[in-house]
Amino acid sequence: MTMRTSGFTLLETLVAVTILTLAVAGPLYVADRAAVAAQVSSQQLTASYLAQEGIEYARSMRDREFLYAYAAGGSNVSQDAWNAFVRGSGGSGEGSIASCEGQPCTYDGTPGLPMGVGSGRALAACANANMSSCGPLYLVNGYYAESGASNQVTPFTRAIQATLLSANDLKVTTTVFWVNRGTHYAVMVTDNLTPWQ
């Protein structure tokens, strides 16, 4: 009489381990992809706000020139303000958006910076015509700024460009780009600005 013992063979054990591994790895992979998607989605939202902020700053520069020209008086307030905004002729002396035409500019959102373009101003030309020459943004006291401590650097870089389409039509484009896990992302917002009247 022979006695038979039952048990798992090596092949059965390997199949069971493979099935168990797939059952655990699948949900872990899905969870990782969901976490990455949530992070990218959050970054896209932040980037869209940063891009819109660049457009709003350019619009604010135009409006400020109009208010200055209105207070100064004159026969053609709207056109004088527009010329000051686009080319820097007269106006508040705060610089024009012309330095952002053909070359990207950066916008420093640090509170208290004077409005305009140039040294110590909130809008400054990047090192060269390549948008990647614009520096990264830093998170300083809740504001995105052009400088800060190295531990506050964000993945975002913002570039603002202006293109004069006609004598009374200026296209302003703000691009915010960043890299997440080796993948390059960008958000671009474009708006056309015209004189007040």
Distances (CA, A) of 30 to 35, 37, 130, 184: 9, 10, 38, 22
Tell me, what amino acid is at 178? W
The pLDDT value recorded for residue 2 is 62
The pLDDT value recorded for residue 92 is 60
In the chain (197 residues long), the average pLDDT of successive 10-residue segments reads 68 84 80 82 94 93 89 88 80 72 86 77 81 87 84 92 92 94 94 88
The pLDDT value recorded for residue 93 is 60
Neighbours of 158 (CB within 10 A): 28
Distances (CA, A) of 164 to 171, 184, 193: 6, 29, 10
The pLDDT value recorded for residue 169 is 93
User: For the purposes of burial, counting CB atoms within 10 Å of the CB of 106, is it exposed (0-12), middle (13-18) or buried (19 or more)?
Assistant: buried
Are 160 and 105 in contact, with CB atoms under 8 Å apart? yes
